[in-house]
């Protein structure tokens, strides 16, 4: 299928076909794993578009085309991990520049901005972006990048991408959205005005908890050129096997996300109705603050649910966290299997307690990545674990 045909088609079709053609030499329908570091040239400089594996690789190119197709972007650029993708964007800033980011975000992004970029003179601040006026107040003349995560991690707050992109662009600030939680199946930030979409493909895009990867998608030729230069110069590239696995994952993205969403909705409603639970954080609940914005901005509410027990002691949370049989206690998210995580000691431990508390992240909060197992088994598992609280 031709690229311009595919881009007119639905998400499920793009997930399966974008970026991929039958292999030109053998007709292989699945993109081969091009396990090679270098490529033969007919004469110096006369090659078929590939010179050396750090610069590009056909398996990686197929994945890049696929991700760009899913996000509705001109360019897709793959990295060895989500944080490598974030790092590449941040490296385009200069000493004296300032990043304004969501205060409820992936812990590794906070660590990268504060502990790695800070000493190079790139400052960062973190605000609650679900409130546009707070973002406006926190902008500085030096702000060059707005870093949005929505839904946020782990409180799943919903942030108005369109409103923030308009605000940022009126001041010449670039906008990056970490779309890892929603995926392009549920939310396409570029169509809402973002300049850059970032992914940890390790999560829902790969979808099977068997590969680490990252990507940036953009419509800006200028950003794409800068990022490709960084890929070449700093070398955080994914291997061909990793690209193959991720590409296999993205083919089923739409159907997996439908099931993640329906299971998460059932889990959130079950928890909300249970007296042993004090508070449930899920954009699909009509009682949740970001619900109507999520309805406008997203095509589904995602697979991430957080909650607080009525007994909000650490001891009670620990008993629940160690009592499930279907949910596995582990970091990460977005795989077909259900995971349970304790942000304060696991994924968000790199954020100082004072800042976590200021952002509304309770020490006893439990975060769920709801998988695609049978709904009744997930509810029964949670019911039994809650009885241990
Ligand atoms: C996991 C994650 C990252 C970092 O990605 P890695 O692939 O682990 O480097 C960034 N953002 C979000 C929202 C994540 O969940």
* CATH code for the domain in which residue 8 is found: 3.40.640.10
Q: Is the CB of 108 under 6 A from ligand 1?
A: yes
Is the CB–ligand 1 distance for residue 200 below 6 Å? yes
Residue range 259-264: mean pLDDT, rounded: 98
Residue 264: its pLDDT value, please?
Answer: 98
Same domain flag for 246 and 270: no
Give the residue from 216, 250, 284 where a domain finishes: 250
Are residues 226 and 186 part of one domain? yes
Distance CA 384, CA 387 (A): 5
226 and 263 assigned to the same domain: no
Cα–Cα distance for residue pair 152/272, rounded to 1 Å: 20
Is ligand 1 within 6 A of the CB of residue 179? no
Of 3-7, 49-53, 221-225, 240-244, the least confident: 3-7
pLDDT for position 174: 98
CB 337 within 8 A of CB 209: yes
Q: Clarify whether residues 25 and 109 are in a common domain.
A: yes
pLDDT band at 1 (very low <50, low <70, confident <90, very high): low
Residues 239 and 258 in one domain: no
Stretch 325-348: mean pLDDT: 95
Of 230, 250, 270, the residue at which a domain comes to its end is: 250
Task: Check whether residue 203 and residue 285 sit in a common domain.
Answer: no
Are residue 297 and residue 369 in the same domain, yes or no? yes
Alpha carbon nearest to ligand 1 atom 12, residue: 106
Range of 87's domain?
3-250
Specify the residue with its C-alpha closest to ligand 1, atom 2. 200
* Atom from ligand 1 closest to the CA of residue 334: 15
User: Which atom of ligand 1 sits closest to the CA of residue 83?
Assistant: 9
Nearest to 354 by CA among 101, 99, 98, 103: 103
Boundary (domain end) residue, out of 227, 250, 273: 250
Average pLDDT over residues 52-76: 97
The total of structural domains in the chain comes to: 2
153 within ligand 1 shell (Cβ under 6 A) = yes
- Active-site annotation holder among 60, 203, 256, 356: 203
Å from CA of 83 to ligand 1 middle: 6
Tell me: do 235 and 283 sit in the same domain: no
CB burial class (10 A; 0-12, 13-18, 19+) of residue 321? Answer: buried
Q: Which percentage of the chain shows pLDDT scores above 70?
A: 99
Q: Verify whether residue 178 is a known catalytic residue.
A: yes
> HSE of 61 in the Cβ direction (CA atoms, 13 Å)?
13
Adjacent-strand bridge partners of 12: none
In this structure, which residue's CA is closest to atom 8 in ligand 1? 82
Does 102 contact ligand 1 (Cβ within 6 A)? no
Check if 54 is active-site: yes
Q: Given 34, 87, 97, 106, which residue is catalytic? A: 106
Residues in the chain: 389
Catalytic annotation, pick one of 23, 54, 228, 276:
54
Contact yes or no for 344/356 (Cβ under 8 A): yes
Q: Which residue bears the tokens 């991690």?
A: 153
Contacts (Cβ under 8 Å, ≥6 apart) of 90: 99, 112, 113, 117, 122, 145
Q: Are residues 145 and 236 in the same domain?
A: yes
Calpha distance 185→204 (Å, rounded): 10
Say yes or no: 116 and 162 in one domain: yes
Together in a domain, 313 and 382: yes
Task: Verify whether residue 242 is a known catalytic residue.
Answer: no
Closest CA to ligand 1's atom 1: 200
Q: Considering Cα of 360, then 363, then 365, then 371, what sign does the dihedral take?
A: positive
Q: Are 266 and 274 in contact (CB under 8 A)?
A: no
- Name the pTM for this structure: 0.96
Q: CATH number of the domain that 258 lies in? A: 3.90.1150.10
For residues 312 and 236, state if they share a domain. no
- Share the mean pLDDT of the chain: 96
65 CB near ligand 1 (under 6 Å):
no
Known active-site residue 106: yes
Is residue 263 within 6 Å of ligand 1 at its C-beta? Answer: no
């Amino acid at each position: 299928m031709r690229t311009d045909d595919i881009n007119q088609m639905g998400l499920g079709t793009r997930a399966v076909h974008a970026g991929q053609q039958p292999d030109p030499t053998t007709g292989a329908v699945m993109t081969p794993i091009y396990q090679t570091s270098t490529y033969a040239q007919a004469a110096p400089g006369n090659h078929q578009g590939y010179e050396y594996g750090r610069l590009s690789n056909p398996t990686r190119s197929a994945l890049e085309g696929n991700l760009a197709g899913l996000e509705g972007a001109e360019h897709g650029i793959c990295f060895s991990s989500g944080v490598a993708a974030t790092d590449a964007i941040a490296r385009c800033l200069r000493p004296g520049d300032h990043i304004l980011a969501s205060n409820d975000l992936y812990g590794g992004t906070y660590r990268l901005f504060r502990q790695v970029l800070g000493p190079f003179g790139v400052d960062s601040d973190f605000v609650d972006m679900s409130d546009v006026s707070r973002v406006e107040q926190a902008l500085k003349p030096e702000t060059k990048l707005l870093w949005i995560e929505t839904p946020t991690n782990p409180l799943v707050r919903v942030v108005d991408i369109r409103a923030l992109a308009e605000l940022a662009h009126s001041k010449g600030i670039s906008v990056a959205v970490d779309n890892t939680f929603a995926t392009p199946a549920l939310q396409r930030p570029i169509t809402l005005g973002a300049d850059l979409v970032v992914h940890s493909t390790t999560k829902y895009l790969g979808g099977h908890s068997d590969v680490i990867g990252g990507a940036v998608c953009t419509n800006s030729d200028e950003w794409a050129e800068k990022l490709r230069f960084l890929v070449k110069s700093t070398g955080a590239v994914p291997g061909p096997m990793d690209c193959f696995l991720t590409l296999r994952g993205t083919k089923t993205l739409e159907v997996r996300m439908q099931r993640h969403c329906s299971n998460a909705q059932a889990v959130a409603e079950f928890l909300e109705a249970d007296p042993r639970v004090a508070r449930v954080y899920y954009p699909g609940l009509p009682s949740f603050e970001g619900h109507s914005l999520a309805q406008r901005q997203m095509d589904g509410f995602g697979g991430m649910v957080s909650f607080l027990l009525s007994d909000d002691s650490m001891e009670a949370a620990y008993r629940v966290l160690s009592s499930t049989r279907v949910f596995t206690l582990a970091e990460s998210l977005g795989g077909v299997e259900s995971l349970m995580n304790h942000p304060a000691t696991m994924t968000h431990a790199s954020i100082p307690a004072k800042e976590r508390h200021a952002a509304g992240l309770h020490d006893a909060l439990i975060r769920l990545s709801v998988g695609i197992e049978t709904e009744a088994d997930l509810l029964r598992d949670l019911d039994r674990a809650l009885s241990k609280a």
